[in-house]
Amino acid sequence: MAQPAIDPMHQFMIHKLVDIPPVNIGGMALDLSITNSVATMMTGALIVMGFLLLTARGQLVPNRAQAVAESLYGVIDNVLVGPIIGPKGRPYIPFIFSLFMLIMTFNLMGVILSVGSLAGFNWTFTVTAQLAVTATLALLTFLSCLILGFVKNGPGFVKLFVPSGMPLPLLIFMVPIEMVSYFARPLTLAMRLFGNMLGGHVVMSIFGSFVVALGIVGLSGGIATLGFVGSALSLGMIVALTGLELIVAFLQAFVFAALATVYINEVVNFGHGH
């Protein structure tokens, strides 16, 4: 009997959970159906809001949940915003903290509940392994910084593309390079998060298929029982990769928040080094 083909990309397929008739707006049909991607993002947002509502009690002696929430907030305030932007960056902590919490939650949901995918169930969907989602987050961050730059600094914000102390003849070449580098930021932000989450889940799926396939081979008996060894090693790799993916889930959220902080710093402390 032919074995089904291994398809590690199947876990990233989008399908509808609730089919809602499209809404016509300006002659365009807008599909408002709830997909597994939408449901996961809604669930993640509710988890973040619920967690923060339950822990925002301001107790003098915090419980464990409040201590975790304060530690996560401290990562953004004391590790990123304070050292990078300074006192002027405090108004932007809620935005950066929201990005960090949402991305970290989406990442962790994709890792922790991925055991369901290995068992053949669709318990979760890794939305940060979808380029459309990471590109939206990156564009939101980039456009927010761009608009804020012109609001706070006016037309003079274009000086960001003019390196200080650069001879005039070289500016002809450097200004376009600086502009390309600046406007490529959403692409690099989106691709970094997307690539890391996609790659990790693909590798976990492949090793998961090895556990089953080699285990079936081992049932044949004889020398084929060595398949059990390969199956056990593959299972060990999944455990190790799961631990690594948990770390990556936090680190990728931190890196995204760190880069957002750097971009805001250019706007808030505009003129330093330019």
Bigger pLDDT: 96 vs 34 = 96
* Tens of pLDDT, residues 118-157: 555 565 678 999 999 999 999 999 999 999 999 998 988 8
- Determine the pLDDT at residue 2: 45
- Given a cut of 90, whether residue 164 has pLDDT beyond it is no
Could you identify the residue written with the tokens 């960001």?
160
Q: What's the whole-number mean pLDDT along residues 66-89? A: 92
- Given a cut of 50, whether residue 274 has pLDDT beyond it is no
Please list the alpha-helical segments (H only) found in 11-130: 36-55, 64-74, 82-84, 93-112, 114-118
Q: How confident is the model at residue 13 (pLDDT cuts 50, 70, 90)?
A: confident
User: What is the amino acid identity at position 262?
Assistant: V
- Given a cut of 60, whether residue 193 has pLDDT beyond it is yes
Q: How confident is the model at residue 6 (pLDDT cuts 50, 70, 90)?
A: low
Q: What's the whole-number mean pLDDT along residues 39-60? A: 87
The domain spans of the chain are 35-263
Token pair recorded at residue 81: 């915003």
- Determine the pLDDT at residue 116: 55
In this structure, the dihedral spanned by the alpha carbons of residues 62, 64, 67 and 73, taken in order and rounded to 10 degrees, is: -130
- Determine the pLDDT at residue 29: 82
Q: How confident is the model at residue 75 (pLDDT cuts 50, 70, 90)?
A: very high
Percent of the residues in the chain that have a pLDDT greater than 70, as a whole number: 91
Token pair recorded at residue 164: 């200080």
Q: What's the whole-number mean pLDDT along residues 185-194? A: 94
Mean pLDDT of the chain: 85
CA-based nearest residue to 199, from 103, 100, 104, 107? 107
Cβ–Cβ < 8 Å for 163, 178 = yes
Q: Is the dihedral of CA 5, 224, 116, 200 positive or negative?
A: negative
Please list the alpha-helical segments (H only) found in 161-220: 168-183, 185-218
Across 21-25, 92-96, 111-115, the highest mean pLDDT is recorded for: 92-96
Q: Quick one: the chain helix, strand, coil %, rounded to 5?
A: 75, 5, 20
* Tens of pLDDT, residues 22-32: 888 877 888 88
Cβ–Cβ < 8 Å for 164, 274 = yes
pTM of the model: 0.87
* Tens of pLDDT, residues 223-257: 777 788 888 888 888 889 888 999 999 999 999 99
- Determine the pLDDT at residue 120: 53
Cβ–Cβ < 8 Å for 104, 253 = yes
Tell me how far CA of residue 59 lies from CA of 48, 62, 116, in angstroms: 20, 5, 37
* Number of Cβ atoms within 10 Å of the Cβ of 146: 18
- Given a cut of 80, whether residue 195 has pLDDT beyond it is yes
- Determine the pLDDT at residue 37: 87
- Determine the pLDDT at residue 117: 55
Burial of 27 (0-12, 13-18, 19+ CB in 10 A): exposed
Burial of 109 (0-12, 13-18, 19+ CB in 10 A): buried
